[in-house]
């Protein structure tokens, strides 16, 4: 391609466009994190019958900007006996894994921008769902390293709780998605969305899998009533007790981006992704993006509602609930799904046997 008299190879142009898309994606996620946190503070305030943020800017809309400036300007402390390198790297790992997970989620069909076919995801890979599960498993390293490097026994207990909790609920979360894989026979998220365009939203035959996934996702993101790694009544603040300034903000950033990601995955796998539930309703711009955003926000609102409603569980209750309750139900869901598929399509029995 000739730009201002300079010939540039197409692969270089594609690489530059990819970098621009990555930057736009990161900015969009960070902006969403800031304002979802603000919306949550409003929602919790309504549930608790009090006034939420309303001072900074019109109706409190500049509160996220004020919080960011405060976090950047606060004094940064590192404990004397902490492992300083790991202490600094840990929150970066949490944020990086949170951002990486969103790379394979399609938020819309490709759009035409100045004659260029622009895919609305960073990477379309055949094993996208496996990639998401792998990144979700790696994300706990940030939490564990933060608690260990702080040289604080309360932080260490919080990080160990986080590791045990993730291992426990990761099993149920993965099994909850097996039904989707059995129906669609693919790990590619775009193909899963196309399947739902032809056969309807997967939440209808997989309502049990959807409920299991959402409960496990709440536990994976350390949200109430599963926020045992933080548990300020027992562990001061858990794994981030010793953190301050921007490092402290990084953990909250990672938590909220993870919430966005798990809700986006649920939207893609169970709720038709960017498909419109009302095809006859006109929407300005790229309708896929708007429908996707609406579905994701409704699921995030459920997270907020649960946080303002349910009390924290005890740690033994947390473990009993997944191993003795959710895991058997997840296995039962797989058994029922397999039985229905074989009943409706007898030839599928040979596939399962392999």
Cα Rg for the chain, rounded, in angstroms?
Answer: 22
* Cα 340 to Cα 290: distance, rounded to the nearest angstrom: 34
Written as tens digits, the pLDDT of the chain (354 aa) is 555 555 566 677 677 777 888 888 888 888 888 888 888 888 888 888 888 888 888 888 888 888 888 888 887 888 888 888 888 888 888 888 888 888 888 888 877 766 667 777 888 888 888 898 888 888 888 888 888 888 888 888 888 888 888 888 888 888 999 989 988 888 888 899 989 888 888 998 889 999 999 999 888 888 878 887 776 666 667 777 888 888 888 888 888 888 999 999 999 999 888 887 766 555 555 667 888 888 999 999 999 998 888 888 888 888 888 888 889 999 999 998 888 888 876 655 444 445
- Dist. CA 145–CA 281, nearest whole Å: 49
Q: Beta strand 116-118 with 111-113: parallel, antiparallel or unpaired?
A: antiparallel
Every domain of the chain and the residues it spans: 9-353
Query: CA of 198: how far to CAs of 194, 207, 210, 221, 326, in Å?
Result: 7, 18, 20, 32, 31
Two tokens, residue 104: 């394979």
**In 3-state terms, what secondary structure has residue 190?**
helix
Task: State the Cα–Cα distance between residues 252 and 270, nearest whole angstrom.
Answer: 27
């Amino acid at each position: 391609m000739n730009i201002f008299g300079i010939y540039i190879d197409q692969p270089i142009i594609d690489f530059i466009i990819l970098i621009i898309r990555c930057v736009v994606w990161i900015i969009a996620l960070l902006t969403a994190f800031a304002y979802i946190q603000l919306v949550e503070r409003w929602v919790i305030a309504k549930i608790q019958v009090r006034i939420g943020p309303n001072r900074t800017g019109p109706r409190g809309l500049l509160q996220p900007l004020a919080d960011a400036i405060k976090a950047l300007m606060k004094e940064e402390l590192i404990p004397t006996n902490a492992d300083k390198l790991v202490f600094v790297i840990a929150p970066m790992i949490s944020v990086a894994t949170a951002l990486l997970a969103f790379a394979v989620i399609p938020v819309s069909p490709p759009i035409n921008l100045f004659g260029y076919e622009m895919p609305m995801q960073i990477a379309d890979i055949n094993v996208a769902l496996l990639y998401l599960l792998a990144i979700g498993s790696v994300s706990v390293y940030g939490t564990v390293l933060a608690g260990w490097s702080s040289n604080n026994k309360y932080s260490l207990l919080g990080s160990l709780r986080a590791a045990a909790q993730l291992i426990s609920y990761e099993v149920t979360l993965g099994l909850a998605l097996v039904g989707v894989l059995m129906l669609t026979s693919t790990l590619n998220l775009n193909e899963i969305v196309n399947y739902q365009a032809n056969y309807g939203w997967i939440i209808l035959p997989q309502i049990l899998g959807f409920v299991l996934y959402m409960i496990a996702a709440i536990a994976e993101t350390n949200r109430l009533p599963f926020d045992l790694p933080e548990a300020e009544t027992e562990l001061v603040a858990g794994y981030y007790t010793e953190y301050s300034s921007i490092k402290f903000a990084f953990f909250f950033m990672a938590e909220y981006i993870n919430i966005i990601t798990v809700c986006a995955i649920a939207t893609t796998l169970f709720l038709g992704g960017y498909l419109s539930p009302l095809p006859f309703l006109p929407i300005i711009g790229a309708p896929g993006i708007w429908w996707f955003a609406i579905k994701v926000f409704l699921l995030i609102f459920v997270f907020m509602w649960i946080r303002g409603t349910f009390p924290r569980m005890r740690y033994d209750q947390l473990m009993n609930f997944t191993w003795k309750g959710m895991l058997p139900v997840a296995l039962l869901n797989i058994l029922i799904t397999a039985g229905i598929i074989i009943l409706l399509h007898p030839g599928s029995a040979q596939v399962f046997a392999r």
